[in-house]
Chain A
Amino acid sequence: MSGETFVEVKGIDFSYPHQPPLFEGFSWGIRRGEAWAVIGPSGCGKTTLLYLLAGLLKPQRGEILIAGNPLRRPRPETALILQDYGLLPWDTVRGNVALGLRIRAFYGPDGLHAPRTPLPGKPEALVDFWLQRLGLQDVADRYPSQISGGQKQRTAIARALVLRPDLLLMDEPFSSLDAPTREDLEDLTLELQAEAGLTTVVVTHSIEEAVFLGRKILFLGRPPHTEAIVIEGTKPDRSHPDYLKTCSLLRDMLNAVRRG
């Protein structure tokens, strides 16, 4: 057991208006630097859990603490990456990567929309670094409509990482990409995670992706969720017997949920 509890979900209730509850007294903990995957059938509330962690939704009861502070609104140090990239169609790749920095400059370091401590280095240099790191320098002046799906998701990742987040939340980040591009970006995610010691939570419905990206896996079955079902992951090696064993375990669990 190493590291402090970084994200603490404490007995939360959550339901959408006029819908059955998704979470009831649900608790879960994430330590700093851990890589988590969250898996479950569609409609199980995994995206909702991610939005709760992002501060975009609020639990009706209980609370979420991040780095010891109760979460009341989106934290400037949390990055969120969505399946449909969320890029501004009217801005270039470079402009999109710089968006978070421009928003911070717009507010100034107020501690609310932007951290009080400014980022080290000039914004242009930071943007250039991340364009380079994600192999986007050749498409930097193109618009999102002019680049491939994989490049769009790389742009979204660069836009998130340029702000030096300590928590990276990803919602089905690679599920609309073809298989080689997806594996390529999964490898890249692991590299970046290791480089920055990022705490990551990846929500996915893909068993292989969950086992590859999650050193720990949170399994969400049929709601309401009252306790965290956690599966210890394996090394990220797609051909290792342990990897395949964990995949088939998850497959059985998902099938059991589906059969009711």
Chain B
Amino acid sequence: MSRRSLLLALVVLLLVWQLLAIIVHRPILPAPWEVLKAFFLALPGELGKHLLSSFWRVLASITLGIVAAAPLGIAIGQSASLSRLLSPLIYLLYPIPKVVFVPVAILFLGLGDLAKILIIFLIIFFQILVLVRDQAAALRPELILSVRSLGAGRRALFRFVYLPATLPAIFTAIRQSTGTAIAVLYVAELFATKYGLGYYIYITGSTLFDYPAMYAGILAMSLLGLGLYFGVDWLERKLCPWLFVHPH
């Protein structure tokens, strides 16, 4: 995808929005320029604080998710007995929509960041765990044997084979789960909290009736998702250059 085609798509989106705003012609659908004005006015102030606290929650969850799930996924992927032990458990827990645990997490952990981070962490944790496990299990035994024959024991195999081999799976998992993670963050931030985009959108829309500000919040949340998505893409190009070369 070229930058030009992305820019073109953005222009088309804005035009459709503008057109809809003209047709609907009600305060609940302000025109794009009105929202952009509200967005840039509010960003250095309140909106920025809300955006940052949402961003921090997602980033903390992703980091914790990688740190916890990647080594466990590698361990399960390379050990048949560990896989026999834990895979049924993962099979049962993976499909559960983690958003239903939001009230439980809040009851146990209170209204602070911890409950919100935990829920998003759970979503990302299982996605990374499953993809990394499958990637590690799919490594050809010949590759492992030949690296072992170069002197590699368990630790060196982890460092020189399993870690780089599963890096793309981590990126894919994050890409796949950011959408859900941010949707769930929105829900989690609806519950009494002081800062967070979910709260901002809710308050500006249903209490203050400041629709341009509400849309500015929606825009900020979209940009958060988009930024994470592009950030992951960028990191993957930096850290996994072999995925982007022309084959023989």
Contact = CB atoms under 8 A, between A and B. Distances in A.
Contacts, number: 86
A114 B148 CA distance: 12
Contacts of A143: 242, 245
B140 to A, nearest CB: 7
B160 A99 contact: yes
B248 A103 contact: no
Interface stretch (A27-35, A75-83, A188-196): A75-83
B160 A145 contact: no
Contacts of B155: 106
A86 B152 contact: no
Contacts of A91: 164, 242
Interface string A137-150: 00000110111100
A88 B150 contact: no
Contacts of B245: 142-143, 145-146
A107 B151 contact: yes
Given A89-B242, A90-B164, A113 B156 contact: yes
B161 A113 contact: no
B146 interface: yes
Interface in B111-163: 140, 142-143, 145-153, 155-156, 159-161
Name the residue among B147, B150, B165 with the largest chain A CB count within 10 angstroms: B150
A87 B164 CA distance: 13
A74 interface: yes
Interface of A: 51, 54, 56, 74, 76, 78-91, 99-100, 102-104, 106-107, 112-114, 142-143, 145-148, 156, 159-160, 163
Q: 6 closest A-B pairs (Cβ-Cβ)?
A: A86-B146, A80-B149, A100-B150, A113-B151, A145-B247, A143-B242
16 contacts: A56-B148, A74-B149, A78-B149, A82-B145, A85-B146, A86-B143, A90-B240, A91-B242, A99-B147, A100-B151, A106-B159, A113-B151, A113-B153, A145-B242, A147-B248, A159-B150
